[in-house]
Structure 1
């Protein structure tokens, strides 16, 4: 009986550890602080922003818009002037592009 109880306790802790590891892994999100921010201006849309940054990313416009919606928790394509959204372009890429353009 003692050996059997020890087995149950050990199994419980293994399952508990597995659940904890699973929750920790699934809660990891991309840190948006590494991505470029865009302030929305009058007349902007997610599609026009995708066009604006077309030469700085390698994904389709549809995937660009979908990424922006998901990461910024936007549930429609409507955005308002003054809103700040993250776009799927790393800050380093924008910085490098601006350095080349200024030279």
Structure 2
């Protein structure tokens, strides 16, 4: 106890570090990505789904990932099947377009 009185700044620093580490651990465990389940419609193909849902990675890589997630041996899918696909990460960008004085909207 005497040590803490003499070195309160070190104890405070260590305590804040512990709180910070616990906060990081909790936030990482709560941010787990969930996968989507989609129902295959007539005419759907993995290539079309890769174009629609796999925007941030190459089509072949996305298709291979989906095939592995669903234990598919081939890229053939049937209407009515349900596939698990990776979650799509959405990027939100604010549009600060250039406006000229007097432009009306």
Distance of 2:47 and 2:87 partners within structure 1: 15
Structure 1 residue 54: deviation in Å?
3.8
Pick aligned residue for 2:74 from 70, 73, 76: 76
Structure 1 residue 70: deviation in Å?
0.5
Q: Deviations over 1:4-34 (max 9, x none)?
A: xxxxxxxxxxxxxxxxxxxxxxxxxxxxx92
Aligned to 1:34: 34
Distance of 1:59 and 1:68 partners within structure 2: 12
RMSD: 2.2
> TM-score, with normalisation over the residues of structure 1?
0.51
Q: Select the structure of larger CA radius of gyration.
A: 2
As a proportion of its length, which structure holds more strand? Answer: 1
Aligned residues: 60
Contact 2:54 2:62 in 1 (8 A): no
Q: How does 1:26-65 map to 2 (within 5 A)?
A: 34-55=34-55, 58-65=56-63
Distance of 1:74 and 1:59 partners within structure 2: 20
> TM-score, with normalisation over the residues of structure 2?
0.50
SS in 1 for 2:87: strand
